[in-house]
């Protein structure tokens, strides 16, 4: 087996051997069918030709018999010429079975056709009655010998052998090329997977592969990209969590050590600062817990028919004092009820986070508009503000957890709010997207499947 198809590998050798076996079987079957068909065709054609020649000789003998009035004075020259032209043994037998004429080195005394031992089963002897005015006056017996059929089959064998050899060579060559073409991308993906497993996260399957192999290569590359992104997110998450926790922990540790060592005396202001740091720690931990719960909410949400308009209005009322303090004008465009099948508590949390995010980044005097509508069987919630907007390079990342853009460096927050909203929307079978034309504010659009108010 190792000598078949070097460089193809075990799978390639098996494929090549399978293709070769199929090719050999096909050539053998076709060759056998061709031989049998040619043999039968030659027999039929040769028999028809011999019967025709014998009939010609019988007609000539009948004419000679009629002209002479019997066999004694009959001129059988034409009969002899017909037999010599066909290179056949010729015998003319009268009605009593006596031989009138024998040419070609043999006599035939039987009125039945004979079959030669050789010649591939081709009938060699033909007997035809001699009819004069409808009466049989004798027979013409012609023996054509047994070599004609053998010669024909010999030629057929030689041509079929040449054709079979050429077909087999072409089939083996094509099988080798197909096996190589099938195995090469598989081996490339195997090597790539091994390299990826060994730690080379940049390796990918190169080249364009046909059909399902191409789809497999693209799926593998997509999987590798997803793993790389997951690793990056995990590393960034670890770094961001460490960064978010480090500052309040360091401040708490320093303040408590000063109090413990008696370097400072407890004061309401100092204790309030330490309390603020502990609250900051609590917010980060709570946000991470909420995000984790949202990511696994597919198993814990309690779905029911809820009015999205009512949820938006309730959250607007709850955020009214915060909006007023930030000098931000809120507008709600929601008239008729819009029902969705969702967990009301999680939708309240998502809408609240969207409002809080808009308030956090808007400037005094800016406006926020909440709009609820129905479009193509979906409930659509848009949160549009007139704030400074989001830079184009940061816009694709705003729904990533712990992502904080350049504008957020001076603003309190853990960077988890929008990631939490995204997970909540996904768990309810919806989509979320954000657009932010330069200098024109930001619009976040949430789409959820709308339902009838009667659905519970």
Q: How far apart are CA 445 and CA 371, in angstroms?
A: 9
| Mean pLDDT across 6-14 | 64
% of the chain residues with pLDDT over 70: 80
Residue 296 in this model has a pLDDT that exceeds 80: no
Q: How confident is the model at residue 371 (pLDDT cuts 50, 70, 90)?
A: very high
Q: Which fold has domain 301-449?
A: Heat Shock Protein 90 (3.30.565)
Q: How far apart are CA 343 and CA 378, in angstroms?
A: 17
Question: How many CA atoms, within 13 angstroms, populate the side-chain half-sphere of residue 210?
Answer: 6
Pick the closest to residue 182 from 218, 145, 209 (CA basis). 209
Element (H, E) at 353: helix 344-361
Residue 108 in this model has a pLDDT that exceeds 50: no
Q: How far apart are CA 52 and CA 211, in angstroms?
A: 61
Q: Please, where in the chain does CATH 3.30.565.10 lie? A: 301-449
Name the one residue in this structure whose structure tokens are 């076996």: 21
Q: How far apart are CA 376 and CA 449, in angstroms?
A: 9
Neighbouring C-beta atoms of residue 414, cutoff 10 Å:
21
Tokens of 300: 């814990």
pLDDT digits (tens, 9 = 90+) for 198-256: 888 888 887 777 677 778 888 888 888 888 877 776 776 666 667 667 767 777 888 88
- For 211-293, the fitting CATH number among 1.10.287.130, 3.40.50.10170, 2.102.10.10, 3.40.50.170 is 1.10.287.130
> What is the predicted pLDDT for the residue at 206?
79
Residue 372 in this model has a pLDDT that exceeds 90: yes
Q: How far apart are CA 81 and CA 79, in angstroms?
A: 5
- List Cα–Cα distances, 81 to 52, 60, 84, 340, in angstroms: 15, 10, 5, 107
Residue 354 in this model has a pLDDT that exceeds 70: yes
Residue 377 in this model has a pLDDT that exceeds 80: yes
Q: How confident is the model at residue 6 (pLDDT cuts 50, 70, 90)?
A: very low
Q: How far apart are CA 119 and CA 152, in angstroms?
A: 9
% of the chain residues with pLDDT over 90: 9
Handedness of CA 278, 284, 289, 294 (dihedral sign): positive
Residue 428 in this model has a pLDDT that exceeds 80: yes
* Positions of E strands within 205-358: 304-307, 329-333, 339-342
Q: How confident is the model at residue 308 (pLDDT cuts 50, 70, 90)?
A: very high
> What is the predicted pLDDT for the residue at 455?
52
Strand order, beta sheet including 89-94: 99-103, 89-94, 135-143, 125-132
> What is the predicted pLDDT for the residue at 369?
92
Handedness of CA 98, 104, 105, 111 (dihedral sign): negative
| Mean pLDDT across 409-426 | 70
Residue 115: DSSP 8-state: B
pLDDT digits (tens, 9 = 90+) for 36-75: 777 777 778 778 888 888 898 888 888 888 888 888 888 8
Q: Which residue has the higher pLDDT, 268 or 181?
A: 268
| Mean pLDDT across 112-122 | 39
Q: How far apart are CA 399 and CA 202, in angstroms?
A: 25
Average pLDDT value for the chain: 78
Residue 105 in this model has a pLDDT that exceeds 50: no
> What is the predicted pLDDT for the residue at 287?
65
Lowest model confidence (mean pLDDT) among 35-49, 80-94, 304-318: 35-49
Burial class (CB in 10 A: 0-12, 13-18, 19+), 407: middle
> What is the predicted pLDDT for the residue at 359?
81
User: Mean pLDDT highest for which of 18-27, 125-134, 207-216?
Assistant: 125-134
Q: Which residue has the higher pLDDT, 384 or 121?
A: 384
* pTM greater than the 0.75 cutoff: no
Helix (H, G, I), strand (E, B) or coil at 332: strand
Helix 147-197 vs helix 9-68: crossing angle, to nearest 10:
170
Residues 6+ apart with CB under 8 A from 84: 90, 103, 104
> What is the predicted pLDDT for the residue at 210?
67
Pick the closest to residue 456 from 248, 303, 254, 288 (CA basis). 303
| Mean pLDDT across 306-327 | 88
Q: How confident is the model at residue 183 (pLDDT cuts 50, 70, 90)?
A: confident
Residue 258 in this model has a pLDDT that exceeds 90: no
Q: How far apart are CA 435 and CA 438, in angstroms?
A: 10
Q: How far apart are CA 284 and CA 416, in angstroms?
A: 9
> What is the predicted pLDDT for the residue at 295?
55
Q: Please, where in the chain does CATH 1.10.287.130 lie? A: 211-293
Residue 133 in this model has a pLDDT that exceeds 90: no
Q: How far apart are CA 384 and CA 407, in angstroms?
A: 18
Q: How confident is the model at residue 113 (pLDDT cuts 50, 70, 90)?
A: very low
């Amino acid at each position: 087996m190792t000598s078949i198809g070097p460089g193809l590998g075990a799978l390639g050798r098996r494929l090549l051997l399978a293709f070769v076996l199929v090719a050999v079987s096909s050539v053998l079957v076709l060759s056998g069918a061709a031989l049998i068909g040619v043999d039968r065709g030659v027999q039929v054609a040769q028999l028809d030709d011999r019967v025709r020649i014998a009939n010609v000789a019988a007609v000539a003998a009948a004419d000679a018999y009629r002209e002479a009035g019997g066999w004694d004075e009959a001129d059988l020259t034409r009969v002899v010429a017909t037999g010599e032209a066909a290179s056949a043994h010729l015998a003319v037998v009268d009605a009593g079975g006596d031989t009138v004429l024998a040419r070609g080195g043999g006599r035939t005394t039987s009125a039945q056709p004979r079959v030669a031992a050789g010649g591939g089963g081709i009938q060699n002897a033909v007997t035809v009655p001699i009819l004069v005015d409808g009466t049989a006056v004798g027979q013409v017996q012609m023996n054509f010998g047994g070599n004609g059929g053998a010669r024909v089959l010999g030629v057929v064998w030689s041509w079929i052998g040449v054709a079979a050899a050429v077909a087999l060579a072409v089939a083996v060559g094509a099988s080798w090329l197909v096996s190589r073409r099938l195995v090469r991308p598989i081996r490339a993906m195997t090597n790539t997977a091994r390299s990826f497993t060994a730690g080379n996260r940049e390796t990918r399957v190169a080249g364009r592969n046909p059909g399902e192999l191409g789809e497999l290569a693209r799926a593998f590359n997509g999987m590798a990209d997803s793993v790389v992104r997951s690793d990056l997110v995990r590393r960034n998450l670890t770094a961001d969590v460490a960064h978010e926790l480090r500052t309040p922990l360091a401040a708490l540790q320093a303040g408590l050590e000063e109090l413990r060592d008696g370097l400072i005396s407890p004061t309401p202001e100092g204790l309030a600062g330490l309390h603020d740091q502990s609250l900051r720690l609590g917010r980060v931990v709570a946000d991470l817990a909420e995000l984790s719960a949202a990511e696994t909410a597919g198993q814990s949400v309690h779905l029911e028919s809820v009015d999205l308009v009512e949820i938006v209005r309730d959250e607007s009322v709850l955020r009214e004092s915060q909006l007023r303090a930030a000098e931000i004008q809120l507008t709600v465009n929601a008239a008729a009820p819009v029902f969705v099948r969702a967990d009301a508590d999680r939708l309240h949390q998502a809408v609240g986070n969207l409002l809080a995010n808009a308030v956090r980044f808007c400037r005094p005097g800016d406006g926020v508009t909440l709009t609820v509508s129905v479009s193509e069987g979906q409930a659509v919630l848009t949160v549009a503000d007139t704030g400074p907007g989001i830079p184009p390079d940061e816009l694709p990342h705003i729904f990533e957890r712990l992502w904080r853009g350049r504008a957020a460096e001076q603003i309190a927050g853990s960077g988890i709010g929008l990631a939490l909203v995204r997970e909540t929307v996904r768990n309810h079978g919806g989509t979320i997207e954000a657009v932010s034309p330069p200098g024109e504010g930001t619009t976040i659009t949430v789409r959820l499947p709308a339902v009838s108010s009667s659905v519970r």
